[in-house]
A and B are shown apart, each in its own frame.
Chain A
Amino acid sequence: MNFLRRVLATGEGLAGGAMLAVLLAVALAAPVLAPGDPMAMAGDPLLRPFQDAAHPLGTDRLGRDVLAGLIHGARTTLLVAGAAAAAALGIGITVGTLAGFLGGWVDEALMRVAEAFQTVPAFLLTLALISVTGPRASTIVLGIAIGAWMQPARITRAEILSLRERDFVAAARVIGMHKLEIAFREVLPNALTPAISLAAVIVAAAVLIEAALSFLGFGDPNRVTWGSMIAEGRAVLRGAPFLSIIPGMALVATVLAVHLTGRAVARTLRVRPEVVRPEVVRPEVARPVLG
């Protein structure tokens, strides 16, 4: 709780945290805030925003309510991004721990695999997976995850390498704990912090990738997403640009919120040594008293 308070104390943390909280609330309360199917026709097509009280943000070509789309889109976005980030962190931390702890050829091999994944653009990788399975939310989550696990893996591995030689590991070895057990039960919990701070970056990237995929028509066709709304609006870009602009602003706000919160968390976690004042006088020593 103290940690939370410290994060919120920074300007970034407050702004980002507030925006994230609103987003989460909207996503969770979607069925309540915008009951019914957001993909169903709700009114006259191409109503402009702020014209009709029933449709405060207007409607699209098929008469679907933009606000409802935004609210339900928030759900999809956060779900996919959250799941993808969790998966990426899970894979990355596991691989990093194995590589760091087991060392040797396992380490070499795993790092080469990481390099290979890093050479292929994550977006293309996800596209390739979609071409095999067809557009599905689970494929998107997997695609983003396998495109983003490398960085957490590297960071975890670096932490493990530095922790490996510490006393408590040697003690565990003496008691006879198996190598992998030591890795996962003793060393890993200490190495988690830097990898967790990557979570924000991955979530933000995931939001953008998912939006881009939906925009191109490769998102889950059964869900309404901000990306697909923007794509819809593209057909009437000249006449009704608001259809593309509004969901985009939601995207910007979301990514911004995640970035700001991430930065605030990272700053709070990082142990920044106080700028050491050159001459710190020891208060308890007064003028010397000699016998």
Chain B
Amino acid sequence: MLAVRGLGVAYGGAGPPALADVSLDLAAGRRLAVLGESGSGKSTLALAICGLLAAGARVSGTVAFPGLAAAPVLGRDIGVVFQDPGGSLNPVLTIGEQIAEVAVVHRGLGWRAAAAQAARLLDRMRIVGAQAALRRHPHEFSGGQRQRIALAAALAADPVLLVADEPTSALDTVVQHEMVELLDGLVRERGLTLLFVTHDIALASMLADEVAVLFGGRLMEAGPVGRVFRHPAHAYTRALLATRLNLDTTVGETTLGARLPEIDPADFSVFVPARRVPHG
């Protein structure tokens, strides 16, 4: 589905690049977690794959979609969900309009049919009173609901790839759990390929088949999630996992109750060369 080769992204003149020489593959129907601390380049990677980088970004390398017949169209073949639920929706349009227009633009549906589909999507997203909700505006919903609405809009044109940039980071813990369940179910139902960016190791272990670990704009390690978390090959991955306490949860069978606290990026001061890493 997705083949990235030697991808590099740089902004402006001075300073190290945001992303350097990243290569990875993602097979159709699989789920990839792009894991890293803030500043690791994980969001840049997701945006680069979607073609949503800010103006002034210099891109090198290639992003190919061997699974698709033609170059992917954003919105139709790729659905994107962003981190900030408050910022994904146009405040002056109704949510019904915003979900429906995706189907109208990409799948040529009439407004009536698109609205009906939007209602069905909202229902699946567990928004109560979907039909009435179509006429409401984003500010009338909570953060968690808005994130689910954004997800509905991302899926309205029936894409094959779903890219999610930190989909749960801005949500409350309880709501996060619902979101994860929802994502899991949707991906399974629709046979989606999923690429999601996160700094939450527990989320990665719960939701992903494969994981790619980024640091400093470079790919440290990639592979099946079980293998990477149980037998990390790279020193960075080892240190990453080691900064968590209670390391005896089984990856792949993590119960929701045993969710570990997410890594505090400040912990990565262990990587100042003089310090030694605490033994795990």
Contact = CB atoms under 8 A, between A and B. Distances in A.
Contacts of A283: 15-16
Contacts of A291: 276-277
B65 interface: no
A282 interface: yes
B71 interface: no
B276 A290 contact: yes
Nearest to A275: B54
A285 interface: yes
**What DSSP secondary structure best describes chain A's contact surface?**
loop
A288 B43 contact: no
B91 to A, nearest CB: 22
Interface in A238-291: 275, 277-291
Contacts of A281: 15-18, 39, 41, 216-217
A97 to B, nearest CB: 34
Interface stretch (B97-105, B109-117, B234-242): B234-242
B194 to A, nearest CB: 21
Interface size class of A (residues with CB under 8 A): 10 to 19
B166 to A, nearest CB: 12
A282 B40 CA distance: 9
A284 B272 CA distance: 8
Contacts, number: 56
A278 B44 contact: yes
Interface of A: 275, 277-291
A14 B162 CA distance: 50
A270 B229 CA distance: 48
A291 B276 CA distance: 6
B19 A286 contact: no
18 contacts: A277-B11, A277-B18, A278-B43, A279-B18, A279-B39, A279-B40, A279-B42, A279-B44, A279-B217, A280-B15, A280-B18, A281-B216, A283-B15, A284-B272, A287-B235, A288-B236, A289-B271, A289-B273
Contacts of B19: 279
A288 B271 contact: yes
A281 B271 CA distance: 14
B47 interface: yes
- Enumerate the 6 nearest inter-chain pairs by beta-carbon distance, A residue then B residue, closest first: A291-B276, A279-B18, A288-B271, A289-B273, A279-B41, A279-B44
Contacts of A285: 216, 268, 271-272
Given A286-B273, A291-B276, A279 B43 contact: yes
Nearest to B17: A281
Interface in B34-53: 39-44, 47
A125 to B, nearest CB: 36
Interface of B: 11-12, 15-19, 39-44, 47, 54, 216-217, 235-236, 238-239, 268, 270-273, 276-277
A290 B47 contact: no
A284 B16 CA distance: 11
A165 B47 CA distance: 41
Nearest to B16: A281
Contacts of A287: 235-236
Contacts of B54: 275, 278
B67 to A, nearest CB: 27
Given A279-B217, A283-B16, A290 B277 contact: yes
A281 B16 CA distance: 7
Nearest to A280: B39
Nearest to B165: A278
Contacts of B217: 279, 281
Given A279-B18, A290-B238, 14 more contacts: A275-B54, A277-B18, A278-B47, A278-B54, A279-B43, A281-B16, A281-B41, A282-B216, A284-B272, A287-B235, A288-B270, A288-B271, A289-B273, A290-B276
Contacts of B273: 286, 289
Given A279-B39, A279-B217, A280-B39, A288 B18 contact: no
Given A279-B18, A283-B16, A288 B39 contact: no
A281 B12 CA distance: 14
Contacts of B272: 284-285
Nearest to A289: B273
A272 to B, nearest CB: 16
Contacts of B268: 285
A288 B239 contact: yes
Contacts of B40: 279
Nearest to A284: B272
B163 to A, nearest CB: 15
A216 to B, nearest CB: 43
A169 B271 CA distance: 42
Contacts of B236: 287-288
